Structures are given as C-alpha cells and as structure tokens.
Amino acid sequence: MVEDNVCHSVSAIRFSAELRQNDRRYNLEATNNIYLPGGRRVRGFVGIEPLVHPCP
C-alpha cells in the first residue's frame, strides 16, 4: 500500500494548539466566552467563519 500522499487526521487538541500558536497569523483570538444558542458557554476562537453552512 502506497502512503506517499496520504493526509493523516489531526486530533482536536493538536489542532487547537496549532491555532493558538498561530493566532496572530490567522487573525484569531482564543476565548472561553462563546455562548451557544442554548446559553451554554464554550471555548473557541473568535474570527473563524464557516464557508459552508449545514442544511437545517
């Protein structure tokens, strides 16, 4: 099996750490004050917008 051009998935923790390390490059801000529609507070990044919206 050839694995030359295989993209491996990245864990959520690793992805989040990479974003935090490069937040200025991508014009992001890490925060824990993001509120979901149900009122639940979550951690995330300010400055990320979805390019594709899921169907309702």
Q: What is the pLDDT of residue 2?
A: 57
- pTM for the structure as a whole: 0.58
Q: What is the pLDDT of residue 56?
A: 65
pLDDT tens digits along 1-56: 556 667 778 898 998 999 999 999 989 999 999 898 999 999 889 988 877 777 76
How many domains is the chain partitioned into structurally? 1
* Contact call for residues 47 and 29 (beta carbons, < 8 A): yes
* Contact call for residues 41 and 32 (beta carbons, < 8 A): yes
Domain encompassing residue 36: 1-56
pLDDT tens digits along 1-14: 556 667 778 898 99
Q: What is the pLDDT of residue 22?
A: 92
